[in-house]
Structure 1
């Protein structure tokens, strides 16, 4: 969604960018096995630091992330987008 920010009103595009940045800190170690903004491997395994309120907590670069809170934040963002916030359709790559 961030790559197509022009499809949304500026306030929504800003929220999408902020969410992407927040998620990138947690996504990079799990998806790419490296820390955000740093090349090379993470030199350790990703592990759960806590099981709190039926949720996993992770610590990445000294910052704690609660899985349920992260999912709730994404759902909140998506639910906040109204039809008027969508300015045009996202481009779709041609199928081969």
Structure 2
């Protein structure tokens, strides 16, 4: 099970489906050079794994030098619909 709080960036918790880099290792371009960003498929895989593990409402947030999972996520700050006025 991936640990999304154990790496410099949460996306590094999963293996990249494109370049096959192992968890903890940055993506590589076909030339072998380090990529400037993660492959889109790795980001999607990290999202899928995170939701499977923590649920659709959870979020991961930067805390000091690391990361923390908040199971409630942003539910508490989402805008709520205003009650309609009685007619």
TM-score bucket of the superposed structures, by smaller chain: under 0.3
Higher helix share: 1
- TM value normalised by structure 2: 0.27
Structure showing greater radius of gyration is: 2
- TM value normalised by structure 1: 0.26
| Higher RCO (C-alpha under 8 Å, 6+ residues apart) | 1
